[in-house]
Structure 1
Amino acid sequence: MSSETTASQAELQAAKVPLGWRDQCSSLLIPLNVCRRKNYYLPWECEDERHVYEKCQYEDLLRRMKKLSKIKTAEREQSE
């Protein structure tokens, strides 16, 4: 995971980010949503912000999958 700072709960609440979207990448979602609103959600606008956010989401998914794999391996080794 890259070294982005996480947004505080107050910032997320002020930006009206739903609870389901508050994760490691939520600090990147705030400027993406601002750009989307400013540009009327046009799909060709805000591509850079969207790419950065989606990359963060992908890296977070990989991190969680790796962690789960380690847990499962440890459980298998314990049961043997």
Structure 2
Amino acid sequence: MSPVAPANLTASQEEAKAARLPLGYRDGCSALLIPLNKCRRQTNYMQWECEDLRHVYEKCQYDDYIRRMKDLSKLKRAAAEEE
């Protein structure tokens, strides 16, 4: 399967519920997790079968983490400037 990143990386509540995603995984990359889990189930969780989808999902998670850390450092810097 070739990875195709959707325009919006967040799945709707209906899509997440239909895909039975746990609440902890319904984040900004949930639209990438749905096809990854589908691929995993179809291939009996063989690691090498869904590599491309997994890498796209992990890259999204990493980018989201970096964005959140930058936002946090901006908040800390602003708080330090206020004092």
TM range (shorter): over 0.9
**Separation in 2, partners of 1:30, 1:15:** 6
User: Which sections of structure 2, spanning at least 5 residues, go unmatched?
Assistant: none
Q: Which runs of 4+ in 1 moved over 6 A?
A: none
Backbone CA RMSD of aligned residues: 1.4
User: Which sections of structure 1, spanning at least 5 residues, go unmatched?
Assistant: none
**Separation in 2, partners of 1:7, 1:75:** 34
Report if aligned partners of 2:32, 2:56 keep a CA contact under 8 Å in 1.
yes
Matching residue of 1:76: 80
Identity %: 63
Deviation at 1:43, TM superposition (A): 1.0
Q: Name the TM-score, length of structure 1 as normaliser.
A: 0.93
**Separation in 1, partners of 2:54, 2:75:** 32
Q: Name the TM-score, length of structure 2 as normaliser.
A: 0.90
